[in-house]
Amino acid sequence: MKKKKKYNVAVVGVGAVGVQMLRVLKEHKFPVGTLRVLARSQRKIKVDNCAYDVEKISPDSFCDIDFALFAGTEGAKGAAVTFAPEAVKRGAVVIDNGADFRMKKNVPLIVPEINGKDAIINKGIIANPNCSTIQMVAALAPIYRKAGIKRIIASTYQAVSGAGRSALKQLWEETGYMHKITDVLSAADNPMQCEAGKDRAFLNQIAFNVLAQIGGFQEHDYTTEEWKMVHETHKIFNDKKIKISATCVRVPVLNSHSESVYIETKKTITPGAIKKLLSKTKGVVVIDDPAKGKYPMPGLSSCRDEVFVGRIRKDPFVKNGLWLWIVSDNLRKGAATNAVQIAEYLIGR
């Protein structure tokens, strides 16, 4: 891409991720020339007291656009598949937050701090990894480079914001309905099983509950979210030899995903060395003083761009086994921020 002083940007989708994209572009002072906000229907929205005119998306919406940021599943349904090729035809670089292009052979899957150089060799479309993958690989990449990783076991505790506005609404409403926890526990019927409606993101109750499913079930009874962590990590590290297994769980937290990640390294590396290594890693913040109650939490990471890591400790029974606790804002670094950072990397080059 030819270097310019200003770049014309289109943001596709004004759901939870699309709104964050608008916010991050402004906060990062991205050199925006013309900004177009696109969705299925024309309307006006306001983000942080800034008014935006949302245009109805069409192929011609991408004329003279340099970067088209697709909010993925939070945007217009099917928008990336339908309109990304149209945007590329008109000279735009598409950065897509959805899952449609992530595993395509000629589409780079990018976390700028890890494999930003791969974004340069693109054919018009660059994919954002899944939110749970991004924060995990951001924390593990320096360890992978230093000591190698032969095994990863991840358990995620994912906020409802990852399932969109309807999920946030459902949690709020259920929390309001369930003022007395004793009523929930002593109900004669099963209050955790809910009737599915058009405004419900989850079949089961999410308030005061934990759902051991994110996405549909696939091979070996792993969900789509769990397989994403496997396949995307292999692609980002360009290493299919890493043995990866995940369990992805939805928890009644509004925003920011948490992950308990177990790794087995090829070379011995101490928790102290990992803390020192991650403390020097761009975009990673180490908070690890558990005796004083200091470790990453969703409340601390929400509205932040960094990946927070703590509870770094050795497995006393496995020579090279280690645990890490990783927390990050899934709408920011897990989606919108990473997409904007890809564009920043490209213009920086």
Evaluate if residue 184 carries a pLDDT over 70. no
Q: What is the pLDDT of residues 142-157, one digit of tens each?
A: 999 999 999 999 999 9
Are 91 and 7 in contact by the 8 Å Cβ rule? The answer is no
* Sole residue written with tokens 């396949």: 231
How many C-beta neighbours within 10 Å does residue 31 have? 15
Q: Is-catalytic flag, 257?
A: yes
Q: What is the pLDDT of residues 261-314, one digit of tens each?
A: 999 999 999 999 999 999 999 999 999 999 999 999 999 999 999 999 999 999
Q: What is the pLDDT of residues 74-86, one digit of tens each?
A: 444 568 899 999 9
Which pLDDT score, from 0 to 100, does residue 187 have? 42
What values do phi and psi take at 48, rounded to 5? 50, 45
Evaluate if residue 43 carries a pLDDT over 70. yes
Query: What percent of the chain shows pLDDT beyond 90?
Result: 86
Would you tell me which CATH number, out of the four given (3.40.50.12780, 3.30.360.10, 1.10.730.10, 3.30.9.10), belongs to the domain 133-164+200-330? 3.30.360.10
Global pTM? 0.92
The domain ranges of the chain are: 7-128+335-348, 133-164+200-330
Mean pLDDT of 311-323: 98
Q: Is-catalytic flag, 131?
A: yes
Which pLDDT score, from 0 to 100, does residue 178 have? 52
Which pLDDT score, from 0 to 100, does residue 176 have? 79
Q: 7-128+335-348: which CATH architecture? A: 3-Layer(aba) Sandwich (3.40)
Mean pLDDT of 202-212: 94
Evaluate if residue 161 carries a pLDDT over 60. yes
Evaluate if residue 160 carries a pLDDT over 70. yes
Beta-bridge mates of residue 126: 95
Q: What is the pLDDT of residues 165-179, one digit of tens each?
A: 889 999 999 987 655
Name the active-site residue from 179, 220, 257, 303.
Answer: 257
Which pLDDT score, from 0 to 100, does residue 197 have? 54
Q: What is the pLDDT of residues 215-236, one digit of tens each?
A: 999 999 999 999 999 999 999 9
How many C-beta neighbours within 10 Å does residue 175 have? 14
Which pLDDT score, from 0 to 100, does residue 74 have? 41
How many C-beta neighbours within 10 Å does residue 162 have? 29
Which pLDDT score, from 0 to 100, does residue 105 have? 93
Name the active-site residue from 28, 50, 63, 131.
Answer: 131
Q: What is the DSSP pairing of strand 257-265 with strand 149-158?
A: antiparallel
**What is the rounded average pLDDT for all residues in the chain?**
92
Q: What is the 3-state secondary structure (H, E, C) of 168-180?
A: HHHHHHHHHHCCC
Are 119 and 126 in contact by the 8 Å Cβ rule? The answer is yes
